[in-house]
Chains A and B, each alone.
Chain A
């Protein structure tokens, strides 16, 4: 068979939709990146993202292990203190709180493992004024990186059962004495740091972005 008359033709055959496929691929990648970015913005930052003043620390990220354990107990104890006061009349002293088994005041293994902090209290009813406060103070703890602590229970009215605001403070010196006053400015000047809780409410707002 002769090959003289055979016509050989060759051409490059491109996939008919190469540009289209590339476009889809790029769009997919961009979409994926956008979705990932959106997710990371919403959920990517785990944990506390609180804005703090120079005289504040976060309960979530700034406390030593002993301080965090004591703070968690104090945070719940604030509620107990109000209840016990409602039951017994005066604001409970340290002996009362021990009898009611309220940590961190009760001297059990947890108390021993978190530095055996010594607690005392002062109940202040300001004569002639509408406000008073009860202050619980803990110091002389022996755990690693231990602080001193105060809980300020603000009374709605002097000596009243109602409490309008409570705050918890720590001091880097574990031997720090009880402050003379509960006023914020004085506490800050003495080196006390207000502990800001990271509560379920904060986490919920971070996750769902809603005020509840």
Chain B
């Protein structure tokens, strides 16, 4: 006869011997808002997602807080940009003693990188502000999570594929309107060197970037040089930052007459599954408005001549 309590003990011991995927949900850490959205759409209700930092902080030059370190203790895996936009995450993991043992999914492993516009050497780390490069990262994340959680591998891959289709359909919604606009003379500058991937996938280029380096405001001399460049190259549109207000944009507008629009860096607000697509819609709509303005200038010039 079995002793009282033997059966529950046996069950507990058996459960502890099962692989992680069979008895526990993954607790997935993410560093940036887009990665929260990507992972949420891939795992849906079969895993938990934990942002490494609270919403409301600027991810540029973030300083780790004690609460961040506590969160890092509980993770099973972390999804990172890894190419310069979330170096603080490695500090957090190191401080939590998880620098080596925590599996990391480097989302950009399968993305072909491009330089920052106007700088032919520096790598542009903002691969998450684009549809095509985002999809490449969604696939990479799904593969990585599937390897750690084989029981849900097919589920993750299937969701990644559906999400990729959905993101492409959002972009496609705007294409007829954008295609109807004359972009021949569209010349744009951006405050932040973040939007090369976004512009590239519309076959557009950025003529000048105001920030000399990522997250660094220009000196007076550098700003004067950029203003000269904008005037010389006929830039008519400047994309400022939706979240990071800067008086520089106003100064440049006053000095050059460019019209100001703003892009989202997709790194503010609450973390959610929809955050990426909501902000991408907004970015594409803002691009459409800027192209409309540029096309109207072309029409005016034709009418004058």
Which chain A residues have a beta carbon within 8 Å of chain B's beta carbons?
Answer: 46-47, 59-61, 65-66, 68-69, 71-73, 75-76, 79-80, 83, 87, 100-103, 106, 108-114, 197-204, 207, 212
Contacts and interface: CB of A to CB of B under 8 A. Distances in A.
A127 B264 CA distance: 52
Contacts of A75: 111-112, 136
Interface string B46-84: 000000000000000000000000000000000000111
B108 interface: yes
Contact of B106 (A47, A108, A198, A200): A200
Interface string B229-251: 00000000000000000000000
A72 B197 CA distance: 9
Contacts of A100: 165, 168
Contacts of A66: 203
A204 B84 CA distance: 9
Interface in B109-159: 109-115, 120-123, 127, 132-133, 135-136, 139
Residue of A112, A200, A204, A212 with most partner-chain B CB within 10 A? A200
Interface of A is mostly: helix
Interface string B84-119: 100000000000000000001011111111110000
Q: Which 5 A-B residue pairings sit nearest by Cβ, starting from the closest?
A: A200-B108, A113-B203, A101-B168, A46-B121, A75-B112
Given A47-B115, A101-B168, A199-B113, A72 B203 contact: no
B56 to A, nearest CB: 27
B136 A79 contact: yes
Contacts of A102: 168
Nearest to A69: B200
A103 B167 CA distance: 13
Contact of B84 (A197, A198, A199, A207): A207
B172 interface: yes
B114 A109 contact: no
Contacts of A201: 106, 108-110
B177 to A, nearest CB: 9
19 contacts: A47-B121, A47-B122, A47-B123, A60-B113, A61-B115, A69-B201, A69-B203, A72-B201, A101-B168, A103-B201, A106-B172, A109-B175, A199-B109, A200-B106, A200-B107, A200-B109, A201-B108, A203-B84, A203-B123
Contacts of A114: 203
Given A76-B136, A203-B108, A112 B203 contact: yes
A75 B113 CA distance: 10
Nearest to A83: B161
Nearest to B179: A109
Contact of B127 (A59, A71, A108, A200): A200
Contacts of B104: 212
Contact of B200 (A72, A83, A204): A72
A143 B197 CA distance: 18
Contacts of B113: 60, 198-200, 202-203
B223 to A, nearest CB: 22
Contacts of A101: 165, 168-169, 171-172
B281 to A, nearest CB: 16
B20 interface: no
Nearest to A195: B112
Contacts of A110: 201-203
Given A72-B132, A79-B139, A197 B112 contact: yes
B178 interface: yes
A16 B16 CA distance: 71
B133 A72 contact: yes
B109 A212 contact: yes
B298 interface: no
A69 B204 CA distance: 9
Contacts of B175: 108-109
B189 interface: no
B183 interface: yes
A95 to B, nearest CB: 16
B106 A212 contact: yes
A79 B110 contact: yes
Residue of B114, B122, B161, B183 with most partner-chain A CB within 10 A? B114
B205 interface: yes
Contacts of B108: 199-201, 203-204
Residue of A76, A197, A204 with most partner-chain B CB within 10 A? A76
B179 to A, nearest CB: 4
B164 interface: yes
A71 B201 contact: no
Contacts of A106: 172
